[in-house]
Amino acid sequence: MKKNILLFITILLYNLSTYAQAPRGVYISAGFSQNNLKSSDLLTDSKPGFTVGAQYHLGYHENYNFQFEFAYKQNILDVKYVEDNFEEAKNSKYKYSDISFGAYVNYYILKPEEDRFFLGPQAGAFVSYVDPITPSKGADVTNQYYLPYLLNESDLQDSSKFNYGLGLGLTGGYNDFRFDLRYSLGLANLLEDVQTHSFDSSNNYTGPTLQGKTNMISVTISYKVFSLSK
């Protein structure tokens, strides 16, 4: 009896892996990203950047599958500052980059089938390690004080190293190619550890606690390099 049950389960899993329509396999990905730091305590504008990474797709259902991804993202922030004469506000280029891991569910309204376009919504969550916000290569940060609290470059190095949040978007593709159009909302306060120059006579920090969270738009194109299906 036990042998028959084991044989039945083996045959069932084999058929699922053979006939499942949802994409399964390993993909490499690259694309466009723009990560904005939303804050009234550090005045910034975001410039377009890039993302590269890898995806792992797993599932045994024709309508949905699970997507796990590892990605590196980078873009430039124009951080507003004044020089020590305080006459004019200018922009200085800083690099914002992170390494992230995400887990998403893809639900296909147009089911994936050979030689047919597939499409559907995507939702999930991510966690990322954020590099310190540093001047981009060649940027001169001498005598610059970043608005509105007149921070300096060393103050920005104390930005939080971890971010996490939610992602929502569209996913689709054709055969071994696929795309992801996603909006990601960061929930961590990346400026929580950045301090202004406000201390009392005992050198205790008197505030305020700065606020800064991210939101990102990304578009990636992926190609399957290893398939899990027959």
Burial of 102 (0-12, 13-18, 19+ CB in 10 A): buried
* Residue 117: per-residue pLDDT: 93
Residue 20 in this model has a pLDDT that exceeds 70 = no
Looking at the chain, the whole-number percentage of residues with pLDDT higher than 70 is: 89
Question: Stretch 4-13: mean pLDDT, rounded?
Answer: 51
* Residue 118: per-residue pLDDT: 94
The residue to which tokens 């995507």 are assigned: 122
**Would you tell me how many other CB atoms lie within 10 Å of the CB of residue 99?**
13
- Higher-pLDDT residue of 153 and 185 is 185
3-state helix, strand, coil in the chain (%, to 5): 10, 55, 35
Q: Distance (Å, rounded) from C-alpha 36 to C-alpha 1? A: 60
User: At residue 52, what are phi and psi to the nearest 5 degrees?
Assistant: -135, 150
Q: What is the pTM of this model?
A: 0.84
Q: Distance (Å, rounded) from C-alpha 27 to C-alpha 22? A: 14
Residue 172 in this model has a pLDDT that exceeds 60 = yes
How far from 118 is each of 63, 122, 123, 172, CA to CA, in Å?
A: 10, 13, 16, 5
- The per-residue pLDDT for range 195-230, each reduced to its tens digit, is 888 888 888 888 899 999 999 999 999 999 988 765
* Residue 74: per-residue pLDDT: 94
* Residue 14: per-residue pLDDT: 45
- H-assigned helices in 20-157: 153-156
For the chain, counts of helices (H) and of strands (E):
2, 11
Average pLDDT, the chain: 87
Q: Which structure tokens are listed for 46?
A: 């975001």
- The angle at the Cα of 43, spanning 40 to 49, to the nearest 5 degrees, equals 120
- Higher-pLDDT residue of 226 and 6 is 226
Q: Distance (Å, rounded) from C-alpha 63 to C-alpha 113? A: 11
Residue 126 in this model has a pLDDT that exceeds 60 = yes
How far from 217 is each of 30, 46, 105, 174, 220, CA to CA, in Å?
A: 14, 11, 18, 22, 10
What residues does each domain of the chain span? 2-227
**Domain 2-227 in this protein, CATH class:** mainly beta
* Residue 225: per-residue pLDDT: 95
Cβ-proximal residues to 37 (8 Å cutoff; 6+ apart), any chain: 44, 46, 77, 96, 190, 212, 213, 214
Distance from CA of residue 51 to its chain's centroid?
9
pLDDT band at 13 (very low <50, low <70, confident <90, very high): very low
Q: Distance (Å, rounded) from C-alpha 85 to C-alpha 66? A: 55
Residue 12 in this model has a pLDDT that exceeds 60 = no
pLDDT band at 21 (very low <50, low <70, confident <90, very high): low
Question: Stretch 45-57: mean pLDDT, rounded?
Answer: 95
pLDDT band at 61 (very low <50, low <70, confident <90, very high): confident
Question: Stretch 71-93: mean pLDDT, rounded?
Answer: 90
- Higher-pLDDT residue of 101 and 4 is 101
Question: Stretch 143-147: mean pLDDT, rounded?
Answer: 88
